[in-house]
Every structure is written in C-alpha cells, then in structure tokens.
Amino acid sequence: MSESSFIRLSLQQQADYRCLLQFDDATPPLLADEPPPLGQNAGPSPVQLLLSAVANCLTDSLLFALRKFKQQAEPLSCRASAEVGRNAENRLRVLAIEVELQLGSPAEGLEHLGRILDQFEGFCTVSQSVAGAIPIQLRVLDSQGQLLKGPKA
C-alpha cells in the first residue's frame, strides 16, 4: 500500500497575469507573474517555478543522500536552465532542462560518493515526476570543478 498526501494551494489573480499563490500550510504566499509583454515580471513565471522546483529538489536530494552517508560537502550550489521552444503544434513548451550541481568540497575527501551519486536522483520527487515528459540532463561537479556525474560540457 502506498502512502500519499496532498499539497494544496489557492491562486488569486491580482491583475493581468500576476497571481498570488497561497499554500495550505505556514508557507509564505508567493507572487507569480509572466514576463512582458503579457505580465510585468512581478514574480517568477510558471516556467521559472517549474525550473526552480526541479533544481531545488535535486539539490535537496543530493544533500539528503550525502547526509544519509554522513558526508559533509556543503554548501551545495546549483545552476539550471530550461529550453523553451515550440512543439509540433507551434505551442510553447519546456523542451529540456539542464541542471548542474556543485559540491562545496573536493570529491577526494568524501566516502561512498559513487553510491551517493548513483542513488540521489531517485529521492527527487519533482524531477522523477516530470522527467517522463521533459528530458533532464544532470551534471554533478565537486568544488574544484571535477566532473563526477553526467556528460561533459
């Protein structure tokens, strides 16, 4: 039997494409907006929120895996990009996401790094949920820029 929970929010249009998102817990409200010419850039756009959700979840998952093996590699950092383009119906879609995670320490000082890198993506609720529809390319570097996982740039 699987365990499930629900995350809820309410969205209230403020003006044009600017919306206030209020969550069902103590999370502070968030203002979202589209960039010009549709909106005024008063907050992150839905595409930016999707990209940030993938990047943040992967970062958290790597941190979780590192801590599970009692490894200190903080502070972690992440850079992410989303390719937005037109699909076959000429509609804008997120076509691909690239994420680069960087450890805050050199790889040689970390134990169990191979196991950590092999399993951390599986902990990421968001990327594992969207990867079936949007290809996600992931790279992991140590603090010295050594590529630990993923394709070369």
Which residue range forms the structural domain that includes residue 73?
46-149
Amino acid code (one letter) for 119: Q
- Based on the fold, state whether residues 28 and 103 are members of the same structural domain: no
Which alpha helices (DSSP H) does the chain contain, by range? Answer: 46-68, 113-119, 125-130
Confidence at residue 20, expressed as pLDDT on a 0 to 100 scale? 98
pTM for the structure as a whole: 0.93
- Each residue's pLDDT tens digit, 136-150: 999 999 999 999 999
- Based on the fold, state whether residues 84 and 21 are members of the same structural domain: no
Distance CA 73, CA 152 (A): 22
- Based on the fold, state whether residues 60 and 132 are members of the same structural domain: yes
Distance CA 13, CA 90 (A): 27
- Based on the fold, state whether residues 77 and 121 are members of the same structural domain: yes
DSSP state of 22: E
- What is the domain count for the chain? 2
- Each residue's pLDDT tens digit, 49-95: 999 999 999 999 999 999 999 999 999 999 999 999 999 999 999 99
Tell me the β-bridge partners of 96.
83
- Based on the fold, state whether residues 138 and 82 are members of the same structural domain: yes
Confidence at residue 50, expressed as pLDDT on a 0 to 100 scale? 98
Which alpha helices (DSSP H) does 92-136 contain, by range? Answer: 113-119, 125-130
- Based on the fold, state whether residues 128 and 69 are members of the same structural domain: yes
Total residue length of the chain: 153
Contacts of residue 6, Cβ cutoff 8 Å, sequence gap at least 6: none
DSSP state of 27: P
